[in-house]
Structure 1
Amino acid sequence: MNTETQTALREEPSEARHVVRFYRDEVVLLAEVAEFLDRGLRGGGTAIVIATAEHRGALRQQLMGLGSLKGQRGWFPGELVMLDAADALAGFMVEDWPDEQRFDQVIGKLVRQAAAAGKPVHAFGEMVALLCEQGLYDAAVRLEQLWNALRRECRFALFCAYPWQLFPTDQQAADFHRICCEHDHVYPHGGDGAAAEQDVSVRLALLEHRNHVLEGEVARAREAERTLRQRERELADFIENAAEGLHRVGPDGIILWANKAELALLGYRWEEYVGHHIARFHADRAVIEDILQRLQAGGTLHDQPARLRCKDGSIRHVVISTNACFDDGRLRYTRCFTRDATERHLLEQAHREREALVAELSRSNQAKDEFLAMLAHELRNPLAPISAAAQLLAVAGGDPERVRQASAVIGRQVGHMKGLIDDLLDVARVTRGLVTLARHPVDLRDAVADAVEQAAPQIQARRHRLVLDMGSMPAMISGDRKRIIQAIANLVANAAKFTPDGGEIALRLSVTAEHVTLAVADSGIGMEPELATRIFDLFVQGRRGPDRTQGGLGIGLALARSLVQSHGGSLAVRSDGTGKGSTFTVCLPRVGGGAAAEPPPAMPGKEPPGHAQPGRALHIVVVDDNRDAADSLAGLLAARGHAASAVYSSAAALEAAAVACPQVFLLDIGLPDIDGIALAGRLRAMPGAGAAVLVAVTGYGQERDRESTRAAGFHHHLVKPVDTGELFDLLARL
């Protein structure tokens, strides 16, 4: 049925009918309404329009056009009344329901007044349509009933209009039928209803409604299909081109699908990735097996760390979020989201390294504090007898025996302090790679013998049993004999320090084609595994009692390891725990040859202490800004028969050289006015001082310090505190 056909409602003005029109096209509707109103107006009657503002304006324009037709009067003689449908409804609606009394005041009074003149009254209303738009279908039916009640009081024609879209589905069919039943006639499709009976027109309207519903459903289905296809395309585009890597895995672990981001992340083409087992791309098989097992059990994973193998062979750190899709309790597939976690991995690694560094710094700081406490203890120990001996010399100067004993005490304790300082300097130089090794063939058996001889007093004092198993084969290495002996002596001294009285210390040497191995084992206090991992760190020591009877600064083992490593070897420790002893194992590269090791060349200008022949007395000047140091050294030299004096500045030294130049200058380097290096240059330039022997006496003893003094013209370099035997031998040679 064509609902768009424009057909006039042909009814005589005398007829008073209540009709309803359902429409799709507003243009057709307004043309019909305008003709309906025009018939009433041209008959001198009243036309009442209760419509929307848009429809009122359109009807006014059309009625003006109808009134100006050729051969007709310029305007209609009747009265046109126009009301706003929404305002009229507001005048009589109470809580979404038409109030009968208010309706009579707003609408009934107006219609009765128009009908009282006996002229035609044609009314057009859209108030019911507005109610239906709000879903108030019952209220619309009630309003139609109020109109019918008003028609029983007075004669008028009423034209109602409803858009078809107000009844889009079968759910509104009952409301549609009730509305139709409240009218004298129904114009469902614009046809001439004059020849049709009411029941036929209602049936036609219902069929028209049904047809309209079906057409709407078909249109909605087509629109839904178009929407569905569009959404499918959008979803496919969203997934395929998402920035996040996505893939789907079957219950057998085969990859069923992957998006572009997933393939780009790992560098594979579609056919190289899809259709293959997921485990093939995981670097850690245990991880993917655990993931698949958890998914089979229905688990959900969030940010699971994993390592995936890229096409170029590199390993990429990722996190995977995944869950499973089940159908009737059976796994169909898993949904997997893959995100690049390289930066996250690097941050976590950096955090772990930072935490480890902080822990290490904390341990080092604690070790430093312990070291400072031990250093103070170790330095105070010799200072106490030195102080007591000095006081003894002051009160017992006339007793030669007591003076000799005090001097011996001071000498021993100064030697001990010098040893501590030498150890500190050694470990600093060795760990920084500043020590130059004088390599020569060395039989490690001889080095062990010398090292044991150095540690013999400590071993004998604690009554240790010493077991030596050196074997019969030469154990040849290439090394600095002095440094190798120093490393082994530190190990033996460490064993003696931490082995109780009467314990056992065993040294066993073994030789293979490639290596020489020395094991230093003891039956001492042993160590816990945690200590074993850091026992070679600087300033770390084993458990010590409050009395600190073992002594030391915790640098012996660190120095030993550095020395062994500088020879291309290794030093390791093993202990079965506290109270079960320890074993330190030195492994060094072996060199060929079975002959005895050649002794290292003697240092030029050096002789063993005490072997130089005594010489004549020398004129010596000691230059040091430390008055006590200068006076004591000059006094010692004078006691040995030399003409020695002390000055305390470079200027005084230059003055002494100008007056009566001495044969020997003992110069401190760190002088405040002119340093010892510059002073040496000035002395060399003075007439009569060129032949003087310059001896540097300084606290700086590294090789670069010795090179500096040689370059400045010094003949000899002595390190404070001066070894008096070495000094006397030097002077005797002069």
Structure 2
Amino acid sequence: MFSHIDGELKVRILLIDDNYDDRLLITHALEHEFPEVELQEVFRAQDLEKALSSRQFDLAITDYELRWTDGLTVVGAIKSLYPDCPVIMFTASGTQEIAVEAMKLGLDDYILKSAHHYVRLPAAVKSALDKVEAQRKVAGLESRLQTLLDNLNVGIYRLGEGGVLLEANKAFLRLAGFSYITQNAEILSKLEFNGTRDREIILRYENDIPIWVRISQTVTTKEGAVIIDGLMEDISLSKQREAERSRVMAELATAKEELKRLLGEACEANRIKDQFIAIVSHELRSPLTSILGWAKILRSGKVSETKLAQGLETIERNANLQNTLIEDILDISRIIQNRLRLNKQPINIAAIIQSVLLDVKPRVQAKSITLESKIGAEVGRIMGDAARLLQVISNLVNNAIKFTPQGGHIFVELQQINSSIQFTVKDTGIGIGADFLPHVFEPFRQADNTKARTHNGLGLGLAIVRNLVEMHNGAVSVKSEGIGKGATFTVELPIYSIPSQEINESLEKSKQDEVEEVPSLSGIHILIVDDDKDTRELLAQIIEGYDAKVTTTASASEALSVLLQLEPDILLSDIAMPQEDGYSLIRKIRSQPGDIQRIPAIALTAFAREEDRKQALEAGFQQHLVKPVNLTELVSAVCRLGIRANLR
């Protein structure tokens, strides 16, 4: 290695040039600058090979164009053997491309031969030697620094792009549980910069005991790459002591907060329950008032035909309202208990929307509301429960009418977006406040729950809508800019792709169902079993209106006796009756000898759950109808079983 003697720089240089005059000029220039220079001249291939094997030089200068080879080969040979040795190319025959290739091989400097460039050569030599000396000093410093870092009790590390561990001292390796620098993703991922310079983390576990460390990081960017330099201090012992001191206090605080939370939830639940019960009482009593009031008026017989029609319409409307309220309560109960079941099949939701819009037309006209609709003609079919989707659409449209003032505007749209359909109801109604907007779909919640509220209802409709939509693998959302600025409800449901043949068959069946008429029940004998006299008389009145013969009984035991004597064609029985219920009755009938055991039977009951339907069918009934039953549904069911009875 080069050195200084009496203040002069002594350097050994390997000069590779097959031109004697050039070697002479180079020697003159170097000896003038470096009096103590030792030059080893090479102008033959065998001399170069010998010089490279002995390595008696600190720096090499080579021409590009040599008789036996070229400068690029020489640079490559030197750098492959001695990567740290500076090499300068001094040539008159090089090009820019040659210079670039030489630099790629590790060339330190490139100088074109000319009269004034001979003066530049010594400066290039000195610069290259200074660079080597600086690198040597840096290496020494790095070695001493690494020794110092290794003896510290603080972990020091450097992470590169992607959390790669580039450097680390022994303390870091010990804390991380490493024997050497390795890429353990589980641990190194915890050390990546997360925006916080100083933090405390659990680095790992040793024998189920956490190793806590405090890390401090600095992030820099070097040549486009992110570098993380960090310090890591073991704080496991202090953490253990801190945890032990605070454990009791933490448990006490947690218990206190939990008690406070539970108390708050209980109070809120009790408040909502009391509020809901009060609303239920009000909502059920209001239609009852109209029903009972008009019933007394009509019984007096002192009413005109006009008042009679008005009274009957009022009674029917309020009875339907009560039925809706009860169905909502039952639906939310089924939802809470996860007992609501869907009868899914491919359906045309556009037709359901059109039917709802047709049904609400009188209400819209009564409030002078402008109702616009845009129903996409090419909207696909969906897999769903038609009755439940009708409930969803009807709820949203009727809500819009309910909360839109006189002369307002409602826009209904159905469109297909990719593989989903989107149903939107937008109104110019009273809007929804920002504080209540997150609670719109929660059960028992109403924006106005005061006694002076202007809109009735139980606050269950939108909760039922959300659950029904989600049961169809869809989503419902609401937007409102605030009070008085209207609201927009949007339902998204997935498209169901089915073969065209199946679609045609389904459409044909729907058409047949729509035009099906209930034929006369003449010649069919029906036995009605119900402990409630009013219900027996009502059912008898309905069925006799279709020319059927009806026998009524008030108990299961009486029904069994009549059944054996008269052998009717169809049994229509209640379930909940004193002494003996409808399940017991049908089981006894099915165990009788002869044809009577095969009598078609309908269960007509107020038990409306899915499990109630299954229990009735398992007991021996062919159909399960729920009170209050739809007249058409009842007569259709009797008609179908009447046909079966005639085939017995």
Please say whether Structure 1 and Structure 2 have the same fold, judged by a TM-score greater than 0.5: yes
- The aligned counterpart of 2:375 is 470
Residue 270 of structure 2 corresponds to residue 370 of structure 1? no
Q: Cα offset for 1:653?
A: 1.7
Q: Cα offset for 1:378?
A: 1.8
Do the aligned residues in 1 keep the contact of 2:344 with 2:383 (CA within 8 Å)?
no
Distance 1:649 1:609, change over 3 A: farther
The counterpart of 2:517, out of the listed 605, 608, 611, is 611
- The aligned counterpart of 1:626 is 532
Amino acid at match of 1:527: I
Residue 288 of structure 2 corresponds to residue 383 of structure 1? yes
Tell me how far apart the structure 2 counterparts of residues 601 and 357 of structure 1 sit (CA, whole Å).
54
Distance 1:659 1:268, change over 3 A: same
Amino acid at match of 1:520: V
- The aligned counterpart of 1:124 is none
The structure that has the greater radius of gyration is 1
- The aligned counterpart of 1:667 is 573
Tell me how far apart the structure 1 counterparts of residues 209 and 364 of structure 2 sit (CA, whole Å).
57
Q: Cα offset for 1:689?
A: 3.5
Tell me, what secondary structure is at the counterpart of 2:401?
helix
- The aligned counterpart of 1:589 is 494
Residue 634 of structure 2 corresponds to residue 712 of structure 1? no
Distance 1:367 1:496, change over 3 A: farther
Tell me, what secondary structure is at the counterpart of 2:459?
coil
Amino acid at match of 1:680: I
Do the aligned residues in 1 keep the contact of 2:414 with 2:423 (CA within 8 Å)?
yes
- The aligned counterpart of 1:483 is 388
Amino acid at match of 2:583: I
Deviation larger for 346-355 or 710-719: 346-355
Tell me how far apart the structure 1 counterparts of residues 415 and 305 of structure 2 sit (CA, whole Å).
53
Gaps of 5+ in 2: 1-152, 159-166, 217-231, 643-648
Residue 355 of structure 2 corresponds to residue 450 of structure 1? yes
Tell me, what secondary structure is at the counterpart of 2:473?
coil
Deviation larger for 401-410 or 430-439: 401-410
- The aligned counterpart of 1:515 is 420
Matches within 5 A, 1:306-455: 306-310=200-204, 338-339=238-239, 359=264, 362-396=267-301, 405-430=310-335, 432=338, 434-440=340-346, 442-455=347-360
Distance 1:284 1:358, change over 3 A: farther
Q: Cα offset for 1:663?
A: 3.6
Tell me how far apart the structure 1 counterparts of residues 378 and 544 of structure 2 sit (CA, whole Å).
53
Amino acid at match of 1:488: I
Gaps of 5+ in 1: 1-246, 292-305, 323-332
Residue 441 of structure 2 corresponds to residue 536 of structure 1? yes
Distance 1:397 1:578, change over 3 A: closer
The counterpart of 1:722, out of the listed 629, 640, 647, is 629
Tell me how far apart the structure 2 counterparts of residues 635 and 593 of structure 1 sit (CA, whole Å).
44
Do the aligned residues in 2 keep the contact of 1:284 with 1:307 (CA within 8 Å)?
no
Amino acid at match of 1:425: L
- Deviation readout 1:580-635 (Å, 9 max, x if unpaired): 2222222222355897965747999x966992122326544432223343344445
Q: Cα offset for 1:544?
A: 5.5
Distance 1:449 1:401, change over 3 A: closer
Tell me how far apart the structure 1 counterparts of residues 431 and 577 of structure 2 sit (CA, whole Å).
49
Q: Cα offset for 1:568?
A: 1.7
Do the aligned residues in 2 keep the contact of 1:477 with 1:589 (CA within 8 Å)?
yes
Q: Cα offset for 1:699?
A: 0.8
- Deviation readout 1:262-288 (Å, 9 max, x if unpaired): 999x75469889xxxx99966775554
Tell me how far apart the structure 2 counterparts of residues 444 and 731 of structure 1 sit (CA, whole Å).
29
Q: Cα offset for 1:662?
A: 3.6
Amino acid at match of 2:555: S
- The aligned counterpart of 1:568 is 473
Deviation larger for 664-673 or 354-363: 354-363
Amino acid at match of 2:606: G
Q: Cα offset for 1:463?
A: 2.4
Do the aligned residues in 2 keep the contact of 1:610 with 1:725 (CA within 8 Å)?
no
- The aligned counterpart of 1:580 is 485
Tell me, what secondary structure is at the counterpart of 1:540?
coil
Tell me how far apart the structure 2 counterparts of residues 603 and 257 of structure 1 sit (CA, whole Å).
80
- Deviation readout 1:373-419 (Å, 9 max, x if unpaired): 22222211221122123323432189777655544433332222222
Give the paired residue count. 453
Distance 1:516 1:637, change over 3 A: closer
Do the aligned residues in 1 keep the contact of 2:342 with 2:385 (CA within 8 Å)?
no
Tell me how far apart the structure 2 counterparts of residues 471 and 349 of structure 1 sit (CA, whole Å).
55
Q: Cα offset for 1:371?
A: 2.3
Tell me how far apart the structure 2 counterparts of residues 393 and 638 of structure 1 sit (CA, whole Å).
24
- Deviation readout 1:234-260 (Å, 9 max, x if unpaired): xxxxxxxxxxxxx8799x9x99998xx
Distance 1:673 1:616, change over 3 A: same
Distance 1:625 1:485, change over 3 A: closer
- Deviation readout 1:671-702 (Å, 9 max, x if unpaired): 22122111012234166734644221101233
Do the aligned residues in 1 keep the contact of 2:173 with 2:181 (CA within 8 Å)?
no
Tell me how far apart the structure 2 counterparts of residues 551 and 447 of structure 1 sit (CA, whole Å).
25
**TM score, norm. by length of structure 1:** 0.52
Distance 1:256 1:571, change over 3 A: same
Tell me how far apart the structure 1 counterparts of residues 310 and 418 of structure 2 sit (CA, whole Å).
54
State the superposition RMSD in angstroms.
4.9
Tell me, what secondary structure is at the counterpart of 2:373?
strand
- Deviation readout 1:33-62 (Å, 9 max, x if unpaired): xxxxxxxxxxxxxxxxxxxxxxxxxxxxxx
Tell me, what secondary structure is at the counterpart of 1:310?
strand
Do the aligned residues in 1 keep the contact of 2:613 with 2:624 (CA within 8 Å)?
yes
Deviation larger for 529-538 or 659-668: 659-668
Higher relative contact order (CA 8 A, sep 6+): 1
**TM score, norm. by length of structure 2:** 0.58
Residue 585 of structure 2 corresponds to residue 679 of structure 1? yes
Tell me how far apart the structure 2 counterparts of residues 256 and 689 of structure 1 sit (CA, whole Å).
94
Tell me how far apart the structure 2 counterparts of residues 449 and 490 of structure 1 sit (CA, whole Å).
14
Q: Cα offset for 1:649?
A: 1.9
Amino acid at match of 2:275: E
Distance 1:383 1:656, change over 3 A: same
- Deviation readout 1:487-539 (Å, 9 max, x if unpaired): 22222222222222222222334433333323322222222333222211122
Amino acid at match of 2:634: L
- The aligned counterpart of 1:217 is none
Deviation larger for 456-465 or 336-345: 336-345
Residue 360 of structure 2 corresponds to residue 460 of structure 1? no
Tell me how far apart the structure 2 counterparts of residues 512 and 704 of structure 1 sit (CA, whole Å).
37
- The aligned counterpart of 2:458 is 553
- The aligned counterpart of 2:68 is none
Do the aligned residues in 2 keep the contact of 1:454 with 1:489 (CA within 8 Å)?
no
Tell me, what secondary structure is at the counterpart of 1:655?
helix
Q: Cα offset for 1:462?
A: 2.5
Amino acid at match of 1:371: F
Tell me, what secondary structure is at the counterpart of 1:494?
helix
Amino acid at match of 2:445: V
